[in-house]
A and B are shown apart, each in its own frame.
Chain A
């Protein structure tokens, strides 16, 4: 069954790279939303929840971990799977975002295989 997905990253370049990587990974995605910051993401999620959210950590205005906390407060997103995508890879950070409600973590640089491995469990 195909899934809806949102990419939240302040870099338009990175959003395009993630989009291309998802296509190469061959994951069954029905529609992809993009957001350049946390506020835009919340606005779009309030209008329509997605199955999977890919979220950067280090963003201006609202950090990725802050966004995760706010998304988890939205009843409509209780089933949304959140996967962080970041250059940051300290265990302290990973533990923190998982505790806040993220489901997994992908470290940059990434490959289509990595996306397949991390997202496949959420595709059923």
Chain B
């Protein structure tokens, strides 16, 4: 069974790769307790099964999600995007980061099948997997302003 430290490293490395190459921002790990996500937020989540089963999610505020979407689309930060466009971008980021994590843990856990991402909007959103789940949680920051929480809930496969 892969341990939490390895998964934390895989989550951070996978996220850094995607944020740097597809969103064009440098991601820093945040350990400050003050860095909390307030107000309306978006939660992009994706489930996986196989050698390891669980759910990976990215949660960030709506302004943070909009900045991510605008950067991905190489648009000016003053331009407008619809809610659907922002949600689609967050779903795609979740999918790509999960792909990066998967490639980093493949040797340790074997192949895993990944679902289609879904995106939810609300307040104080949390990723949940019920009993006997372990959790890897990484908080990241970019542009000295935006915070995103990356969480991976997992347990050994029941298959």
Asked whether B72 lies within 8 Å of A13 as measured between CB atoms, the reply is yes
Cβ distance A63 to chain B, nearest Cβ, rounded Å: 10
Query: Does B73 interact with chain A (Cβ within 8 Å)?
Result: yes
Min CB distance A86 to B, Å, is 7
Contacts of A111 in B (CB 8 A): 21
Q: Which chain B residues lie closer than 8 Å to A29 at the CB level?
A: none
Contacts of B21 in A (CB 8 A): 109, 111
Size band of the A side of the interface? 20 to 34
The size class of the interface chain B forms with chain A is 20 to 34
Cβ-defined contact, A89 with B69, below 8 A: no
Is there contact, CB below 8 Å, between A87 and B95?
Answer: yes
- In the assembled complex, the CB of B112 is this many whole angstroms from the nearest CB of chain A, namely 9
Known contacts A59-B116, A60-B116, A88-B114; A12 and B98 CB within 8 A of each other: no
Residues of B within 8 A of A (CB): 17-18, 21-22, 69, 72-74, 85, 88-89, 91-92, 95-96, 98-100, 102-103, 106, 111, 114, 116
Q: What 5 A-B pairs are tightest by C-beta distance, nearest first?
A: A87-B99, A109-B21, A13-B89, A11-B92, A13-B88
Give 8 A-B pairs besides A87-B99, A87-B100, A87-B102 with Cβ atoms closer than 8 angstroms: A13-B73, A14-B92, A17-B22, A88-B99, A89-B99, A108-B96, A109-B21, A109-B22
